[in-house]
Structure 1
Amino acid sequence: MTASKPTHAPILFPVVDQSLVIGGIPLPRLAARVGQTPFYAYDRRLLTARVQALRAALPAEIELHYAMKANPMPAVVQHMAGLVDGLDVASGRELRVALDTGMLPANISFAGPGKGEQELTQAIAAGIVINLESETELERVATLGHTLGLRPKVAVRVNPDFELKSSGMKMGGGPKQFGIDAERVPAVLTRIGALGLDFEGFHIFSGSQNLKPESIVEAHDLTFELGLRLAAQAPSPVKALNIGGGFGIPYFPGENRLDLGPIADNLAQKLPDVKARLGGAAIIIELGRYLVGEAGIYVCRITDKKVSRGHTYLVTDGGLHHHLSASGNFGQVIRKNYPVAIGNRMGQDDAAPASVVGPLCTPLDLLGDKMTLPEAEIGDLVVVFQSGAYGYTASPTRFLSHAEPIEVLV
């Protein structure tokens, strides 16, 4: 029986007296304060440290935006809004959370296919930038703007003619529901000019969750080339070029942290020429997972321990209904374990392999498969690391009608 060991799990969180510490609070004490399990906890100090480290590494000219879809918890967004230069939303509800932070509307963008008329109306009225995903959406925005007597701010989300190689999820290149195909963009730009919309620039995003700097460097080079080519046909000067993100975080044994050095060096080399040719336009990197993913944990409690034909199962009050991605059902082709630990037994020697499962009536409810963990007992706290992004809100919380988890920012 093969077991996987979470060799990179506790890197960002300290341990005191065999207890994981989140936001300066030992895990058992934090669980008592929360009053229930399961729960998500996000460490504000780690959020701040990640943004500071990124700003120190990248050229000062780069503007940094937070993609709220990664974690839209209002308290997290409020904290991030004080650290970054802008926010990106993907729904009307996220837009309201973003506006509540006090972020200037001009520094909020709205991306995603299939935006509803009510959402578009809210966005136009608020004065945020709408990333156009289709010609139909362009016409819809223009009509709504005319009805409201307002001039909508728009950018064109471009589906590029290249992919971000080695990305966990390809968002551009080939046929895609995201953005307008690059070859169709010139005609769209002409139409934007004819409609008299307030043209802001371009959003070009080709992929996510990438740990290879050479792939990101290549994508940046191709993005700059495409952006400059399209800018020559724009109805007015480009105010901003959003080159997306794609920076990944390590989830699985054997994965290394993304080396920002080559990315930063390439940006430092290319930015002066690009900005000069774009008339000083803002160059934006938009990140979600990279900013918040490693600053969060998911905590559940062992409610039963059973042995079935020689294999130990740790049954918890959490599961895939709270953390779909950790269960391996959020786009993984081959299931791999997220880093998992017994949060109140950190540093103890590993025992026999065990699987961590939840209370759902499906074999898919698996948080850790055949993992080497310390000898755990009923009442111990299971921690799933790398849970700050695409956790709670990316999960089917109503499945089997169990109680929903709590979220805390500490």
Structure 2
Amino acid sequence: MNTPLTHSPLNCFPVKDDCLFVGGISLTELATRVGSTPFYAYDRRLISERIQQLRTHLPPGIHLHYALKANPMPALVGYLAPLVDGLDVASLGELRLALDSGMPPETISFAGPGKSDNELAASLAAGIIINMESEGEMERIARLAEKQGHRPKVAVRVNPNFELKTSGMKMAGGPKPFGIDAERVPPMLTQIGALDFDFYGFHIFSGSQNLRAEAIIEAQERTFKLALELARSAPGPVRLLNIGGGFGIPYFPGDKPLDLRPIANNLATSLPEVNKQLPEAEVIIELGRYLVGEAGIYVCEVIDRKISRGHVFLITNGGLHHHLAASGNFGQVIRKNYPVVVGNRIQGSARETVSVVGPLCTPLDTLADRMELACADVGDLVVVFQSGAYGRSASPLGFLSHPAPAEVLV
């Protein structure tokens, strides 16, 4: 049996009459309003509160960008756009969403190691900033820009020689497909100077999903140092310094929420020197999961209850095809349970240890393994918390051809 989360999602979502409320609506009423299960629901209030928390703690010189890869739901992107300072995209589809949101093109950036010519051409036509990830990409941008008659807005994505320690996904340090090795950047900057490019600055992103403030502080300090060194070779003033994000959220037993205070204090100490040496630079923190992850839930319905050799299985109409991360098949080495409840029976009149599984013909289709939950029956609603990021869009929706889940912003 799993121990409870140090930080309970029930601190974020109210409970009344033993039923979860989302966006001020009871879960049972919300399910009726959506019209079918499974579905994802995202709470506007929690998103706004998270952004306000960041604005309160971080120094005023920090610009906040939202990374659409975390959750590209159009209504959510449209809601977020006025609350942040910029958007970061990683595909042509995300670029269209970002432009539809009304965000000014010069505050939209495109990162990704395999941009197609169509994506680069669209980026040039839209006037967004392209984070170049190789010398070859730079050459393709030059050819396309000459053909289109556009002056490219570019930044250099740097692969530093350090990583964000204890991060869920390491994006830098050593050989990586992301960015240009730091030692190769100065000669590339010379090449940029010889081209008719509008140089903006650097994107240095070293890792994600980190709950240790000291690790994030160390990575930020090394990022500032590297940026100042590279700026000496820049073909023009650095106007943009994207230092990535890496801010994590608690998912598993024993996880503690990230403490923003030491990160904010260190940034307040470091920024004056950065601003002195790079007076035109906007310092950007790019966040995805941290802005929306805890604001979302995944809801599925119990369609059968069975006992196999003394163990109770709740079989639902949801599963890994909708929520790959919660199944443990999205990067977990050892599977751990996301926080899960029976949403219309939070405590229940009785409790039992069960496994929550989906309808797919694979033993990988598990949403909760041997968790203590309220006793549930057919028709009850199972809720997976921490589902606002890398949920629906990061899952194999076509697997076994079941219907895709709905999404609502409440």
Alignment TM-score, normalising by the size of structure 2:
0.99
Give yes or no for contact 1:129–1:154 (8 Å, CA) kept in 2.
yes
Which of structure 1's runs of 4+ aligned residues deviate more than 6 A? none
- In structure 2, C-alpha distance between the alignment counterparts of 1:115 and 1:215, rounded to whole Å: 30
CA 1:350 to 1:340, structure 2 compared with 1: closer, same or farther past 3 Å?
A: farther
Q: Is the 8 A contact 2:354 2:369 kept in 1?
A: yes
Alpha-carbon RMSD:
0.9
The answer for the alignment partner of 1:276 in structure 2 is 276
Structure 1 counterpart of 2:284, one-letter code: I
Matched, 1:364 2:364: yes
CA distance in 2, matches of 1:320, 1:353: 21
Structure 1 CA distance, aligned partners of 2:173 and 2:348? Answer: 47
| Partner residue, 1:11 | 11
Return the letter of the residue paired with 1:253: P
Q: Which residue of 2 aligns with 1:65?
A: 65
Higher alpha-carbon deviation: 101-110 or 6-15: 6-15
Q: Which amino acid in structure 1 is aligned with residue 217 of structure 2? A: V
- Residues 9 and 340, structure 1, Cα contact 8 Å, conserved in 2: no
| 3-state secondary structure, aligned to 2:83 | coil
> Shift of the alpha carbon at 1:308?
0.3
Q: Aligned AA for 2:159?
A: N
1:252 corresponds to: 252
Gaps of 5+ in 2: none
1:140-159 to structure 2, matched below 5 A, reads 140-159=140-159
Q: Deviations over 1:125-147 (max 9, x none)?
A: 00000000111100001111110
Cα deviation, residue 350, structure 1: 5.6
Question: Hey, what's the Cα distance between the residues in 1 that align with 2:373 and 2:5?
Answer: 9
- State the match for 1:107 in structure 2: 107
Q: Distance in 2 between matches of 1:279 and 1:351?
A: 60
**Bigger CA drift: 325-334 or 5-14?**
5-14
Paired residue secondary structure (1:361) = coil
Give CA-to-partner distance per residue, 1:260-297, whole Å, 9 cap, x none: 01100000000011011012310000000000000000
Question: Partners of 2:123 and 2:200 in 1: how far apart?
Answer: 15
SS at match of 1:109: strand
**Residue in structure 1 matched with residue 285 of structure 2 by the alignment:** 285
**1:346 matched residue in structure 2:** 346
SS in 1 for 2:227: helix
Query: Quick one: percent identity of the two aligned structures?
Result: 67
Matching residue's letter, 2:91: S
1:213-252 aligned at under 5 Å gives the runs: 213-252=213-252
SS in 2 for 1:341: strand
Q: Which residue of 2 aligns with 1:191?
A: 191
Shift of 1:4: 4.5
Tell me which amino acid in the other structure corresponds to 1:385: F
After superposition, what is the alpha-carbon deviation per residue over 1:294-349, rounded to whole angstroms, capped at 9, x for unaligned? 00000000000000001000000000000000000000011000000000011335
Q: Is the 8 A contact 2:159 2:182 kept in 1?
A: yes
Q: Deviations over 1:59-86 (max 9, x none)?
A: 0110000000000000000011010000
Does the 8 A contact of 1:6 with 1:340 survive in 2? no
CA distance in 1, matches of 2:192, 2:143: 12
Residue of structure 1 in register with 2:173 after alignment: 173
Superimposed CA distance per residue, residues 172-195 of structure 1 (whole angstroms, 9 cap, x where no aligned partner): 100000000000000110111111
Structure 2 contact 62–282 (Cα < 8 Å) conserved: yes
1:299 aligned residue: 299
Q: Deviations over 1:373-410 (max 9, x none)?
A: 00111100000000000000000000000000000001
For residues 368 and 190 of structure 1, what CA distance do their matches in structure 2 show?
Answer: 54
Given residue 301 of structure 2, which amino acid in structure 1 is its aligned partner?
R
TM norm structure 1: 0.99
Partner letter of residue 59 of structure 1? P
- The one-letter code of the counterpart of 1:66 is Y
Task: Tell me, yes or no, if the aligned pair for 2:5 and 2:255 is still in contact at 8 Å.
Answer: no
Q: Is the 8 A contact 1:130 1:153 kept in 2?
A: yes
Alpha-carbon separation, structure 1, partners of 2:376 and 2:325: 24
Q: Mark the runs of 5 or more structure 1 residues left unpaired by the alignment.
A: none
Match for residue 315 of structure 1? 315
Counterpart-to-counterpart distance in 1, 2:347 and 2:357? 22
1:376-391 map, 5 Å: 376-391=376-391
